[in-house]
Amino acid sequence: MAKAIVSPLLERGEYNPRHVLGIVGSSSSIESALNDLPKEVKVVSSQNSLSREVWKAPLKILAVKPQQLTEIKEFGSSFQSSDQFPKPLLISVLAGVTLKSLERVFPGHTCVRAVPNTPSLVRKGLTGLSWSDDITLDQKKVVRKIFEPISEIYELEEQKLDSFLALTSSGPAYIALVVEAMADGAVAAGLPRQLSNQLAYKTLSGTASLLREKSLHPAELKDMVASPAGTTISALRHLELAGLRSALIEAVVLAAQKSRQLAEEASS
């Protein structure tokens, strides 16, 4: 995700590659981290003494696993404040880690929580943002410019980020499961695997475009397709009996609850 965020900014010339320093957990991760990045970008392991240089930077993106947060120690630096950056800015994409927890671990920083989703990898993502109380308008502009190339941005109260995550960040996995199952059904009904996969992907993409561009409620589209005593209504009846709708509803609710649980564990 960190590479998905940084790469478009480098391509657009928003940041000089020579000014980008990446820190990874071990030296074995350096090669993959540098893949597809400009050669001027520097990536070192956390064991390298150069890694402390990152604390001098006015802007940092934190993209580790939530359980690794306690392994990171904020070091004092020669950071020079300015009107734009009275304190260095830290943007976290860690699921479930609250602003309060981030401020406790990084007391010298202004913190931002960002919740991007995986379609950001192809610049069709969604990102939820919540701000620390001390963030400046200029810093907000900086953060928005970072995520605008890869996603639509939604500024939300922090307590709504868990629900946002449960729908948008976990959602691609739900959709992938449904698409896979639909393609499997087409194979079972007689179509070749490659064609079944391709048709399932295109059906998903086309349906999403139709809903959005025509501003249709999902129920409207369902009723457009389901004719009396037809194939679609028979299939829908089976899906209702199987509990697909309630299963998806509960999946989103459970993902939101898990995000809140992770936040409680991180703050304890």
List, for residues 96-131, the tens digit of each pLDDT value: 889 999 999 898 899 999 999 999 989 999 999 999
- C-beta separation of 125 from 116 below 8 A: yes
**Domain assignment of residue 56, given as a range:** 2-169
161 and 198 both lie in a single domain: no
> Is 265 part of any domain?
no
- Assess whether pLDDT exceeds 80 at residue 185: yes
At 210, list the tokens: 């139709």
> In the listed set 109, 136, 169, which residue is the last one of a domain according to the structure?
169
- pTM of the model as a whole: 0.88
d(CA 1, CA 9): 13
84 and 135 both lie in a single domain: yes
d(CA 173, CA 167): 10
Q: How many domains does the chain have?
A: 2
Confidence of residue 267 (pLDDT cuts 50, 70, 90): low
| H or E element, residue 114 | strand 110-116
196 and 137 both lie in a single domain: no
> In the listed set 137, 169, 201, which residue is the last one of a domain according to the structure?
169
> Is 263 part of any domain?
no
* Per-residue pLDDT tens over the stretch 199-238: 999 999 999 999 999 999 999 999 999 999 999 999 999 9
36 and 136 both lie in a single domain: yes
Q: Measure CA 2 to chain center.
A: 10
d(CA 222, CA 233): 9
pLDDT score recorded for residue 78: 64
